[in-house]
Amino acid sequence: MFPDANTGYTYEDCKATADWLLTQTGLSPLVGIVCGSGLGGLADLLKDQVVFNYKDIPNFPQSTVHGHAGRLVFGTLKGRACVCMQGRFHLYEGYPIQKITLPMRIFKLLGVETVLMTNAAGGLNQDFKVGDVMIIKDHLNMPGLAGNNPLSGPNDERFGVRFPCMSDAYDRELQQLALDVGQDLGYGDFLREGVYCVLGGPSFETIAECRMLSKLGADAVGMSTVHEVIVARHCGMRVLALSLITNQAVMDYDSEEKANHEEVLETGKQRAEQLERLISTMVARIEHNNNYV
Ligand SMILES: O=P(O)(O)O[C@H]1O[C@H](CO)[C@@H](O)[C@H]1O
Ligand SMILES: Nc1nc2[nH]cnc2c(=O)[nH]1
């Protein structure tokens, strides 16, 4: 379970991949986007695309999950240079945790300052409905609490400090911007804020686990994002993360509901257009001197 120090990539490995990408694209993006399960349509909005299949990128893992296309898309969104992961990596795919978070360090070395992430998640908060979009304000990192943290192993100060702070993991100004943009677009009815809990997966939660996570303060549960957030914050990028509530977590022994990936992808399809508009409007309003227009 504990990552071997040797499974990490060196700064030079990451730099070689970033330089390889920069040479091919000539585009230095300020915004990086990570698409969750079934939410990869966002990448299709980029203009003047340069696309790489993950299998062609040096050091990159492969996407193995349905709903994660496995393409890195460079281009412009609302005139801003962006790079978009159409598909992310998860612990349950069997990759070491340093490997699933490698793209965050590549983002940093490409020049990215702001990372916008999406994911599909189960709703634990009884006030949430399927189709709600939760702005993540904090997380519970279950694999991390058990010792599986992407920063385990030797620390390279060129990326960041040995003991990074996580009380400011989710940028408060970006959260406010998401709320403002959501209100402007008329999405107030389905926009929520809350705490995301990451588990290892791939099995969904038992009823007792859902009840426990809810008591611990989690509003939504999933199998991703947090590892990427930790690595992105370690190297100084600002982060906003959004959870699409694709299913209600089952909390009741009388319930007939059963969590399944098909429902997750189906809800993604239904809300994709609004999520894409929310993110692309945010991209247009992010300023990179740390201000927002
Ligand atoms: O978090 P993303 O990548 O959106 O995917 C979520 O959806 C899958 C389960 O349906 C899991 O991989 C879970 O983490
Ligand atoms: N762990 C977990 N991940 C999800 N991804 C989408 N829905 C869920 C869920 O209910 N549980």
pLDDT at 293: 39
Decide whether any atom of ligand 2 lies within 6 Å of the 248 Cβ. no
d(CA 123, CA 271): 15
Interface ipTM > 0.85: yes
Q: Is the pLDDT of residue 104 over 80?
A: yes
pLDDT at 8: 75
Tell how far the Cα of 59 is from the centroid of ligand 1, in angstroms. Answer: 23
Tokens of 235: 């190297």
The residue among 1 and 216 whose pLDDT is bigger is 216
d(CA 54, CA 72): 7
Which domains, and CATH codes, for the chain? 11-284 (3.40.50.1580)
Decide whether any atom of ligand 2 lies within 6 Å of the 250 Cβ. no
Q: Which residue's C-alpha comes closest to atom 10 of ligand 1?
A: 261
Q: 233 near 164, Cβ under 8 Å?
A: yes
Tokens of 81: 């240079």
For residue 176, the one-letter residue type is Q
Average pLDDT, the chain: 94
pLDDT at 68: 81
Q: Dump pLDDT digits (tens) for 6-57.
A: 567 999 999 999 999 999 998 899 999 999 998 999 999 999 999 999 999 9
Q: Dump pLDDT digits (tens) for 148-196.
A: 999 999 999 999 999 999 999 999 999 999 999 999 999 999 999 999 9
pLDDT at 287: 76
Decide whether any atom of ligand 2 lies within 6 Å of the 169 Cβ. no
